[in-house]
Amino acid sequence: MPRDDAMTISRLVSSAGDESDFQRLFERHVVAVEEAVARVWNLEVSEQAEAVEETFVHVFSRLKMLREPGRFDECLLGTAYGIALRRGRPDEHDGGFAEKPFISAPFSLVQGSRPEAETWLEEAVKTLPDETRALAEACFFGQKTRPQLLAATRSMEVAAVGACLDAAYARMKAVFLAHALERLLSTKHSEADAAQPNDPPPNAAGGLHLSDDLLSETLQGNIPPQDGGTLLQHLQAHCPQCEAYLSRRRTADALDGFVLAVLFSGKAGHRSNPAMFARIMRRLRLDARLGSGLAYGAALRRRWNDRLPLTFAAFLGIFGLAVFAFSVTPKFSRHAESFQNQPASIELFWEPAGASVSSAEDLLSESSGRQRAAVCAPGQVLPESARLFLSYALRRSQFVAVLQMLPDESLELLEAPARKSPGRHVLVSDGTADGTPFSIDMHGTVGVNRFAVIASEHPIDTDDIGQMKLVLEMLLERREASGSGTPGRQLFVSWMDVTVRAEDGAP
């Protein structure tokens, strides 16, 4: 299956594929996605179906970002689980979600086979208390009975079943992480003078447990051997604190993708769902029609553009003229106002040669000694090798989307619409537990790049992003390197431009 996925994706991203390739991927994995979503036990059935559909739209639109096509199912299931978590806990919407699993550093600590990993997970469940073990075995193995049906057949509250399954899932993740960490530390020991994985490390007395920082380092394979040895001891002993940490997390990561792929990928065969697949393709065509820049196969976009109705094209032209007329009115400010006087503001940073940005503090610290990135001026010229970082501030809680308009005037969705709390936010590399700042790669973007933050009191949908594309195109003609304004429908936009030049070297 991994090889089949890789070949199918290769055809799609090279424009040699067609809609049947999308259908092949959909039918091959839809059952596994449904099972992963169903494990977020507090979702209603209708919400589960919406999450499944949203997962395929999200992943299909980003196929060109996939680093390892042979691990497509891991990215797909990790994304599905993250979307389901977000939908199941709207009060914790700002807790984070692995929105860009294709861009984040891959979780490659284990090279073993999936049957071996499944054995690890089965053994992990056997170490649980009897009632929890019985529920977990029924839900994750064997018949793979869904939580709601388990509750009904055993005359239990769904919440009680869910709590047991959450604990079991955390135990499985912890055990798998322990096996992966043991292999990683063995490799590091052969390369450096470090403590053996099972030796008492020097800082064992410090009570090191899983945390956001430690999990991020482990998932990326960068954990120091001494810390790794301490953490390994906790995980092998089924540390309640570490497992409670995993159970509390409300964001998906690469570890979830691997565990869910072991449990569900390829276990229930293929299935068609023509109605859902048709809806997915309609949404993908809409993205292509709006020029959203989410590449999922140029052939599909080209065919759709050939059939674009003239009436719709005329509507875009009329709407564009209206936006342009509106944009030159005094209400649409020419320059960025202070943060105190506007709902949102945007700021860009770049990493000079020799610097290293590893945390939000490196960007936002007031101390020049801590700041490891330079603030970009509007319109600043940067080399193509520059790494950019983005921050934005909100006066109050709002729905936010972050966009990049490339020199060819296509849009890249850097952060999907989500409600954000007041204050300063840094665009992060989702899939890293500590919120490592996301490095925007500027290779292949020679010319003017416009970065924009859209803020709204109401949820932002695809139509709103389409409006923003027209707004940014009109303003691009005016060559203003930064600005902000309110182009209607209770939307606010703050933007900044940088110019990328082809030659290397410091600007």
Greater model confidence, 506 or 264:
264
Say yes or no to pLDDT of 422 above 60.
yes
DSSP structure class, residue 171: H
Q: How far is it, in rounded angstroms, from Cα 245 to Cα 400?
A: 28
Q: Please state, as a whole number, how many other Cβ atoms lie within 10 Å of the Cβ of residue 379.
A: 14
Burial 57-87 (b: 16+ CB within 10 A, else e): bbbbbbbebbeebebbbbbbbbbbbbbbbbb
Paired tokens of 159: 């919440």
Q: What pLDDT score was predicted for residue 109?
A: 46
pTM attached to this predicted model: 0.58
Q: What pLDDT score was predicted for residue 446?
A: 92
pLDDT classification of 364: cutoffs 50, 70, 90: low
Which of 142, 188, 133 has the alpha carbon at shortest distance from 165? Answer: 133
Q: What percent of the chain has pLDDT over 90?
A: 23
Paired tokens of 360: 């939000």
Q: Are 377 and 368 in contact (CB under 8 A)?
A: no
pLDDT in tens, 221-246: 778 888 888 888 888 889 899 898 88
Say yes or no to pLDDT of 271 above 70.
yes
pLDDT in tens, 142-174: 889 999 999 999 999 999 999 999 999 999 999
Say yes or no to pLDDT of 116 above 80.
yes
pLDDT classification of 301: cutoffs 50, 70, 90: very low
Q: How far is it, in rounded angstroms, from Cα 261 to Cα 256?
A: 8
